[in-house]
A and B are shown apart, each in its own frame.
Chain A
Amino acid sequence: MVEDTIAAVATALGEGSIAVVRVSGPEAVASVAGVFRSKTDLRSVASHTVHYGWINDPENGQILDEVLVTVMRAPRSFTAEDVVEVSTHGGIVAVKSVLGLLLRRGVRMAEPGEFTKRAFLNGRIDLAQAEAVIDLIRSKSERAFQLARKQAEGSISKHIVPLRGNLIELLAHVEVNIDYPEHDVAEVTAGVIRDTCGAALAQVEELLKTADEGKVLREGIVTAIVGRPNAGKSSLLNALARENKAIVTEIPGTTRDIVEETISLGGIPLRLLDTAGIRETSDIVERIGVERSRTALNEADLILLVINRQEPLHDDERQLLRELKDRPSIVVVNKIDLPGVMKLEEVTDLYPSDRIVFLSAKEGTGLGELETAVSKLFFSGSVEAADITYVSNVRHIALLHRAKSSLEDAVKAAAEGIPVDLIQIDIASAWESLGEILGDAAGESLLDEIFSKFCLGK
């Protein structure tokens, strides 16, 4: 089966000094060559050779990163298709921008497990491993699905749902004009299309702007560090930041004026909520306690409850332990470098012991255990799914770009007097691209819209 060309990040996030974007398929070489600036033309190089150069965006000439590109031609590659690997600098920014650029230029984001699937279908993987391939697809897809759903519930859907609503209303109206030409429903004019699509276009552009700034489309597991005053929250935060050579992004203020930081814990991106709050409160410990943490607690995917073992377990902490028992959370028993007072049984009575970690934030000991615990909690001991989180944002951006260009086409076509049923193709594809961001299947809903809004029939 001849396939389209796919791409994905092949290395774990944040780890190592390089990151790799893998591209596979018949257009792999051509698509990378189109953005590769170098003395050599990738189209004519020999298989299994490495080339030095820069990735640049041909639209604006902007250089994205200095890279090494490896070309492996079919069938001597992992997938038995043409494969190109682009090695960028480590961290998120470079690899993300390179992948994003390729997606914008027509390469498709690989589905979970798709490289392996292709390797199998092309005979590179032994028949005996078919079941393993299936397991990989299943597990990766499920995780991707969960993460995607989470994101769809997030802030981006607040913008996209009404945007799609306007577009489907327009589409339904156009369809009614086409399928019921003699009905007394006003004809959609080119002006209406221009206005509606123009407004949608402006919103998509706004979203893209904020997406690039990282305000709307952020990556990582939303993490809250909670605990009583003086439990060591800020020390833990500092330790995490210090231990990780790369603080990958720093995202100043959202609407609520809460500072967030993304750190990489053993390759897993954690987006820490309310880090400013934590730092502040360490100075004014008496004023703000568990109360403030509660706000963050409601928004987090992961909660780290820090308990100071130099003090007896407090009622607030008992309450929290009960609440957190059934949520993705980890209890961090801090200050193991100092003599303890707290009785561990009191914690284990209320909370599963396999999610309790002992460390000294001040000394920086035990952070490895925390890393393992987080990893186990989210990725069954593997970090590979973490990249799904951040690349799905790249995918979102690519989809927004696609919606943008469809809307631009629609606006232009309306101005040129192109027939409405042709412009409809562009409007529909914008609507579908936006739907893909939400993971929403378009299906029958257009017909539902038509028949609920218009009175039709003989």
Chain B
Amino acid sequence: MGYRAGDYDIIVIGAGHAGSEAALAGARMGCETLLLTINLDMVAFMPCNPSVGGPAKGHVVREIDALGGEMGRNTDKTFIQMRMLNTAKGPAVHALRAQADKFLYQHTMKETIEKQDHLTLRQGMVEDLIVEDGKCCGVVTKTGAEYRAKAVVLTTGTYLRGKVIMGELMYESGPNNQQPSLKLSDTLRRLGLELVRFKTGTPPRVHQDTIDFDKTEIQPGDDKPKYFSYETEYMEHSENQMPCWLTYTSEETHKIINDNLHRAPMFSGAIEGTGPRYCPSIEDKIVRFADKPKHQIFLEPEGRNTKEYYVQGLSTSMPEDVQLNILRSIPGLEKVEMMRTGYAIEYDAVVPTQLWPSLETKRVDSLFTAGQINGTSGYEEAAGQGVMAGINAARKVQGKSPVVIDRSKGYIGVMIDDLVTKGTNEPYRLLTSRAEYRLLLRHDNADLRLTPLGYEIGLIREERYNKFLVKKDRVETEINRMKETKFRPDEDVQAMLKACGSAPLQNTVDGLTLLRRPEVTYGMLEKLSPSSAELTDDMKEQVEIQIKYAGYIEKQFHQVERLEKMEKKRIPENIDYGIIHGLATEAKQKLSNVRPLSLGQASRISGVTPADLSILLVHLEHYNRVKAAQG
């Protein structure tokens, strides 16, 4: 029956957005890596919207790229539209968002994986994990193949006991009618992991030729698009982008939905999984926000060589016949042909407080989880965890300590810390408001924040790192030059100020002071006092942002510094909270459950008070002194 099929350093189960990144990171760090997927045609598949990025999510893609991951490059290679959002707001929340050609996206990613050294891609459904002495050391597939490895990364997405729901119809299935993974949940439970049931959904897809675009508004991409990857210099398809289209639900839409609520699984009780608040189905929106007369519907092309359009805003689990009626009640879609039906999908996820910040499970040594299995939703969230799980699996194999990104260093850090410290009671989506240091976690400075780390762990190559150092150096030099440069209230300066509507200068000021005026840009000052060094647009942007917002940035750095002390205070992994005299009962329970690795992490657990932290600190000091005395 079973046979020994191969030995690897790392096995990654699942080749979605998390699995692809995890496998690439592991292999690029020199580990022999096996990537197993139920269906080889589904590598890096986008089962929901054909887009990547947006606020917080786009930041994550940049971070993945800064660390040496693939999502940014892959999106740059395959986008059909690119748009920078929030440009009227501050630089921290500028966010790049791409519409991807979803078929090209997956093929391109698959090709990258296939070409990667040390990486083996294979079709196979894992049905069991091999755990010996509390350590995960292999997997067994449905076909009886037994693979051995030193670390295993689980990225099961929505496949784990997946169940598709459309109106009265319900059947076991992964996304897009893929085979679900039915047995692995039992394995995880047997290993002592607690699972929860979550739900997500997707809207119907329609045929382009049956849309009346005249009744919709065009939503074009940017003329001169930026790219996700710091490595991408120019993409020809920037000149040939595809627009999206905006329409709205009608009164008729709302009536159809209200008339059919009795057939909606959301309300009939057929759905037991918890869905995300930020991604409600159309029936949910209409019930909860009954006052809202219409809702936006974006029509998004799914690729260059397909007629399929994604109907954003219409996620639903209504019966198929109702879905068609809903679609046809929308201006522009009166005669539309539905190509795929929308559905809700329920799946099992691991309660993420059972993970260390490295994404290794506390229960099972050398078993890592990433992506939707950890209770998140979104391709970017999955990929961000995937990179980290891959990195940490590789480091585990290589006998190195795990890498954890601080909350002040990246959205990836915010997300993972939230998950492992607070858990989540709905599918977790990143939002910029989850970051307390939003101004530091900018889209523009992901490389400054994370590329040194990417280089250190071996995912950023020498050449790219050197380029990064040049950028960093030129930016710093230019900021210093602006500090030294004096602007006198002479004719040129006053004319420039007048032209941009800023008050005339009274005295001579330095460049920093002048640039901090809201109306003044670096471009204006550069004309009056050009730099002798060659600065790219990227560098100039960095100079302007760092000078203009220095006050706010410093304020946040100061906060980070203060909290850093708490973060640096380590708590031993196996501390017994039950015996700590004076800790409140609630704190004992919460701390024993989460087992935070630092005082900072402990402080973010709800129910742990400042007094509990003080007591913990005194206990740790006591512990350390006793230990030191014992030598």
Contacts and interface: CB of A to CB of B under 8 A. Distances in A.
Q: Do A and B bind each other?
A: yes
Interface of A: 1-4, 111-114, 117, 120-121, 127, 130-131, 133-135, 137-138, 141-142, 145, 175, 177-184, 416-422, 425, 441, 443, 446-447, 450-451, 455-458
A121 B621 contact: yes
A421 B93 contact: yes
B397 interface: no
Given A120-B618, A422-B549, A457 B280 contact: yes
A123 to B, nearest CB: 8
Given A4-B562, A417-B519, A451-B277, 10 more contacts: A2-B565, A114-B614, A145-B609, A178-B93, A179-B431, A180-B55, A447-B431, A447-B434, A456-B278, A458-B279
B183 interface: no
Interface in B77-107: 85-86, 88-93, 95
A420 B611 CA distance: 36
4 nearest CB pairs, A to B? A419-B90, A141-B611, A134-B582, A455-B289
B569 interface: yes
10 contacts: A1-B565, A138-B611, A178-B55, A178-B432, A179-B56, A418-B518, A419-B90, A422-B552, A455-B285, A457-B276
A179 B432 contact: yes
Contacts of B292: 455
Q: Which of B90, B285, B438, B609 has the most CB of A within 10 A?
A: B90
Contacts of A114: 614
A117 B618 contact: yes
B288 A111 contact: no
B431 A175 contact: yes
B579 to A, nearest CB: 12
B606 A443 contact: yes
B433 interface: yes
Nearest to B300: A458
Given A183-B296, A451-B278, A420 B618 contact: no
B559 to A, nearest CB: 10
B439 interface: yes
Nearest to A424: B438
A417 B432 CA distance: 21
B433 A175 contact: yes
Given A111-B610, A179-B55, A455-B295, A447 B433 contact: yes
A137 B433 contact: no
Contact of A178 (B86, B91, B298, B611): B86
A457 B278 contact: yes
Contacts of B95: 181
Given A4-B562, A138-B611, A138-B615, A178 B89 contact: yes
Contacts of A120: 618, 621
Contact of A181 (B86, B296, B315, B562): B86
Contacts of B569: 1
Contacts of B560: none
Contact of B582 (A137, A175, A455): A137
Contacts of A456: 278, 280
Nearest to B56: A179
Contacts of A112: 611
A137 B431 CA distance: 37
Interface in B598-631: 606, 609-611, 614-615, 617-619, 621-622, 625-626
A204 B610 CA distance: 27
B312 interface: yes
B622 A130 contact: yes
A419 B89 contact: yes
A32 to B, nearest CB: 21
In this complex, which of A4, A418, A446 has the most chain B Cβ atoms within 10 angstroms of its Cβ? A418
A138 B622 CA distance: 17
Contact of A422 (B90, B280, B519): B90
A422 B545 CA distance: 13
